[in-house]
Amino acid sequence: MAVREILLYPDPLLKTACEPIDSLDDATDALLQDLIDTMVDAGHSVGVAAPQIGALRRAVVVDVSKSKLGRDNNHGLLVMVNPEILESEGEKTMREGCMSVPEYTGNVVRAEKIVVQFLDRQGCDQVICASGFEAVAIQHELDHLDGLLFLDRVSNLKTDVFRRKG
């Protein structure tokens, strides 16, 4: 469909909780395709959430399979509608970045393993267990649906946030 512009912090839409998607109609399918196209076009992205392209709907795409951190442990392209984490286990601190906060990265503590339920692009109910980098990426994208950025998760803005080297 289309590569969409990524909203940048402090755009207020990024801090807004999203509405559930109640039907998988043509407009929803177009949104899902735009998310995929935008993620792929970025080249380095492992996920995009609907609010990052200005759509306040509960949809994300995640694909860590082309990342060195995720290529050995992933489910491929995940297209998730109304995703919800059912279980989480363990803790892992990773340096995260975000296309909506392009100049910074930060150390964030996330669950090491998660069980997530969602509707796929065809409207089928899915439940998967994700671990490692894929679990972190999913949690990062799901935070966007609740109006949270990785900056909201760092424990200390002075010691855990880093300017990207240009």
Domains annotated for the chain, with CATH where assigned, are: 12-163 (3.90.45.10)
Burial class (CB in 10 A: 0-12, 13-18, 19+), 112: middle
Q: Please pick, among 84, 87, 96, 141, the residue that the annotation labels catalytic.
A: 141
* The predicted structure's pLDDT at residue 71: 95
Q: What is the largest CA-CA distance in the chain?
A: 45
Q: Which residue has the tokens 């950025």?
A: 149
pLDDT (0 to 100) of residue 69: 96
DSSP reduced 3-state for 74:
coil
Mean pLDDT of 105-132: 98
Contact, 132 vs 112, CB < 8 A? yes
pLDDT of residue 16: 98
| pLDDT > 80? residue 159 | yes
5 is catalytic: no
pLDDT > 90 fraction of the chain, expressed in percent and rounded = 98
What pLDDT is attached to residue 165?
84
